[in-house]
Amino acid sequence: MSGVRIGIDFDNTIICYDKVFAAAARQRGLVPDEWTGSKTDVREYLRSKPGGELAWQGLQGWVYGKGIGSAEIFPGVADFLDACRRSSAGVCIVSHKTRFGHQDADRTDLRVAARDWIRASGLVGADNSALTVNDVYFEDTQAAKVERLASLDLDVFIDDLADVFEQPHFPRGIKSILFGSNARPGPYKAIASWAEIQHEVFAA
């Protein structure tokens, strides 16, 4: 598929915070010492406790800001981007990300932190990067995110949140791929791994 235009969400689609959330929650004494779990497990654990929502928001602000350096790229993303480059596909990142986190006294700029991570990961700025700094968009609201991806005239959009695809103004012409499994039925195709997404986009 040459010349195809592909948009990708950032948080929990390209970047995986699971280990950072568990480690930060242990460090803050929010979960028992030996506790392990995914980001979703941390959220559910904290929200089941009194004051857990505030603790969760504080943790999120730290993980998406100062803690982002320990986050990992999902397996298969780099290969997918290589395939995009080989196929001359246009790639952009479109993310709903506020500039500052809730409950973050440090006021860390989350967009700067994310851009630093993107550069450090070689997603932009390297000789073989599939995208440039100008292909990375952070929007204040989910509605603005959908407007952005509509304006980019995309053929494919990949996101871990079903809500995005269910927005009434989400452009129906875009091939919608939900990164994840156990999805409820909706206007998207749920695919659990980046290797399978690559097959879906480039070999289907």
Closest to Mg ion by CB, 160 or 196: 160
DSSP 48-79: TSTTHHHHHHHHHHHHHTTTGGG-EEPTTHHH
SS3 112: helix
116/122 Cα distance (integer angstroms): 10
CB of residue 190 to Mg ion, shortest distance in Å: 14
CB of residue 179 to Mg ion, shortest distance in Å: 8
121/187 Cα distance (integer angstroms): 31
**Around Cβ 140, how many Cβ atoms within 10 Å?**
11
Residues, the chain, total? 204
Closest to Mg ion by CB, 9 or 135: 9
Q: Which amino acid is at 38?
A: S
196 interacts with Mg ion by CB under 5 A: no
SS3 160: coil
Write each residue from 1 to 40 as x if it is in contact with Mg ion (CB under 5 A), else as -, in one continuous string.
Answer: --------x-xxx---------------------------
CB of residue 141 to Mg ion, shortest distance in Å: 14
CB of residue 5 to Mg ion, shortest distance in Å: 19
**Around Cβ 192, how many Cβ atoms within 10 Å?**
13
Write each residue from 146 to 175 as x if it is in contact with Mg ion (CB under 5 A), else as -, in one continuous string.
Answer: --------------x---------------
60 interacts with Mg ion by CB under 5 A: no
Closest to Mg ion by CB, 30 or 93: 93
Residues that bind Mg ion (CB under 5 A): 9, 11-13, 160
